[in-house]
Structures are given as structure tokens and as C-alpha cells.
Structure 1
């Protein structure tokens, strides 16, 4: 037996022009932790609802490893999040998450991501989100993809707009004692098709993987 027999989602690969997205092994988690330790965002803007980056580099890396291991351990057909590492030229440069609850009924999925600071501004954010959107719409047959970004996160908002998302309301959160506006974004299948520019190859998405994510023959 191999890991993919016990966790079929490890068969999954998403490939774009420059990137590969995959479930992380232990070496990938170490590489991801190194990138987190090196820095994820500037000091003047906190993009995360949970300010996990506000600590020393070693602790930031440790938090990355333990959090992603807990996310992997929590995958069930009813509720799952796939923490896909983003690999460019053999190097892990960030993470692209995609998740859903009761996707068989809701037909919608959520995404979130971060890139190491050294890899900002190179179009990777758009390309990696495009990869999971292909997975969500073509691979899983979803109708909607959802995202959110704090007001002022122009990079994330720019990716959403570029890929065809439309504003879907706001939420308020208290972060570090301050009220922050969280802008919700929704992408329909029609808008995704109209803005689809990246070619994405989906590998390893077989019946066992679909079943592990709450989808099977009955959904067709």
C-alpha cells in the first residue's frame, strides 16, 4: 500500500504554464515553512483573519507545518480543505487552498492563498488561482467559487477581478482590536468561462478522489 491508497487526494496534480500544485509531503511542508519564515507580506498590512504571521520566523515556520498537517488530517467527504503547495521550477513558493462543505449540495468551493514575498508581483497569484478554478469548475462540476479579501488588499482583489469574480457583499471582523472590512467575491461558471485564459491540466482526479471529496457517480 502507498499513501495514495489511504489518502487518494495525494494523486491530484494541477499543472499550468509555469506551476505545479499538489498535496504536500513532509519535504514540501519544510520548504513551505522556510518560505513563511522568510516573509509572506509587508509590515503595514495584515491580510489574514488569524494573524499567524505575527511572530518570529522560526515560530512562523512551525505554525505553517502544524496548521497544514491539521488541515490534511481534517479532510472528510463532508468538509475538506486541500492545502496545495505551489511549485515553480522545482521550488515551493506558496500555497493555494481550495475547500468546500457539502459540495454535492452546494456546488460551491472557497479558495485562499499566500505567496512568499520574494515571489510577489510575477503573476503567480493569478495563475495558481486559475489552476484551482479549473479544478473546481471542470474537475468537480461546481457552479460557484468564493473568495474574500480585506479592504486594501489590492493584490488579492486584482486577481479576483481579473478572473471574473464579482462583489458579493461584505463582512466585518475585529482584528488586533480594529474593525476590518472583509470583501466577499463570487465567481459563476459563466463568468469563469468568459475570463478563462490559463491552460490547466488536471491529473489524478479519479473516482476515489472524487468520492473522498464528497462526489461520486450519483452526482453526474
Structure 2
């Protein structure tokens, strides 16, 4: 019955090694534990909201509450799609696709985190690829944007590999200091020119209206 009101539970993305879908409540608890065990290495900064620096239990709670909040605040013109990342059924992190005023702008932003033990294996590139495939080939996005700390070499590398180009910089305050991020932008044309792994998307037709600002029936 829940799928009648929240058909996004049926949305599923797959790459050669990964699966992306809404986690069950038990799986969300496992993802919270993955986050509690560590997301950043000592001294590493990856998010303006410094949740990876919270104590372990608070870090896990952040993941749970953020996931619930994104579902509760979903609006067909302003939405955040949070999906669990799974390797052979094992939860290893989460990805997010955000559309603000999407029915007009047709632009998205992406985000992700992986547990420390799962980093450095190319999963980040596959994860971003899956989100971009959904955005460009199913949602009709014209561009994807991201902001990356200049010191975040891993995320910078993923963006360059997938064809993003410079779109300026942003200056923000983190821990009382200025931190500079590179703004990067990827158009649909650029995306289609860059080779990437195959992505399979299923269950989209049932939830299309929830993304595109159309009447939900």
C-alpha cells in the first residue's frame, strides 16, 4: 500500500558493481552505523555541514534524520533524492540528487558519502554516473552542478573524469575560516560525449510525476 503514496520505493539504479535504492529502515540503521565508523580521514574536510566530524553516535543519527527529513519535505518542484548505495546487498554509503525549482531550471546537484573502508575503489565514480544517468536521460536535466573543496582531490578527480568544467568559485566559512570551493558544471551535451559505465534505471515511470512538478495521481 505504501507504494501507492510513495512509489519512489520502486526506483532502482544499477551499475556493474553497485545498486542504488531507498533503504529499508533496518538498512538505514546499517548505513548510520557505516557513517558512525567513519567517513573522513583525520584532517579531511568534505562537507560545509561538518557532520562527518560529529561523535560517532551523533554522526549516525544525522544520517537517519537527514534521510527522513528529505522524504518528509519532498515537493515535486524542490526535492532531494537520497538513495542507499549497495554492494552485493551490503549498504556502504548514500548518494543524493537535488532539484531546486527543477520544473523551470532543469538543473540538479549531486552529493555522496561512502564509509571509509569502501573508498578508493572507484565506487564514487560509478555512484555519480548513476545519478547523472537518471538526471539527464530520464528527468530531462540540462545541466548538473557541484561544488568541491579545492583540497578534495578525490571528488575533484571524479568530476574531471565525467566531463565537468569550471564554473567559478565559492567562498564560505568553515570552522571560523574561509574555505574555497570550485564550482563545476556538466551539460547534457558534455555528458553524452564522455564514456562511462552502463547504468540501468527501473521503476521510474511510476514516480516520474514526483520529480517533474506534474499532477500526482
Category of TM-score, reference length = shorter chain: over 0.9
- Structure 2 match to 1:83: 82
CA contact (8 A) 2:76 2:209 kept: yes
Q: Per-residue deviation at 1:58?
A: 1.4
TM-score by length of 1: 0.94
**Cα-Cα RMSD:** 1.2
Gaps of 5+ in 1: none
- Structure 1 match to 2:123: 124
Q: How does 1:153-164 map to 2 (within 5 A)?
A: 153-164=152-163
Q: Distance in 1 between matches of 2:100 and 2:22?
A: 19
TM-score by length of 2: 0.96
- Structure 2 match to 1:138: 137
Q: Deviations over 1:105-163 (max 9, x none)?
A: 11111101111100111000000100011000001111101111111000000000000
Aligned to 2:81, what secondary structure does the other structure show? strand
Deviates more, 1:23-32 or 1:116-125: 23-32
Gaps of 5+ in 2: none
Q: Per-residue deviation at 1:86?
A: 0.5
CA contact (8 A) 2:77 2:213 kept: no
Q: Distance in 2 between matches of 1:24 and 1:98?
A: 15
Q: Distance in 2 between matches of 1:215 and 1:138?
A: 17
User: Which contiguous aligned blocks of 4+ residues in structure 1 show a shift greater than 2 angstroms?
Assistant: 214-217
- Structure 1 match to 2:190: 191
Q: Deviations over 1:165-212 (max 9, x none)?
A: 001111111000010001111001111011132100000001x41111
Q: Per-residue deviation at 1:103?
A: 1.5
Q: Per-residue deviation at 1:78?
A: 1.4
- Structure 2 match to 1:211: 209
Q: Per-residue deviation at 1:215?
A: 4.6
CA contact (8 A) 1:171 1:181 kept: yes
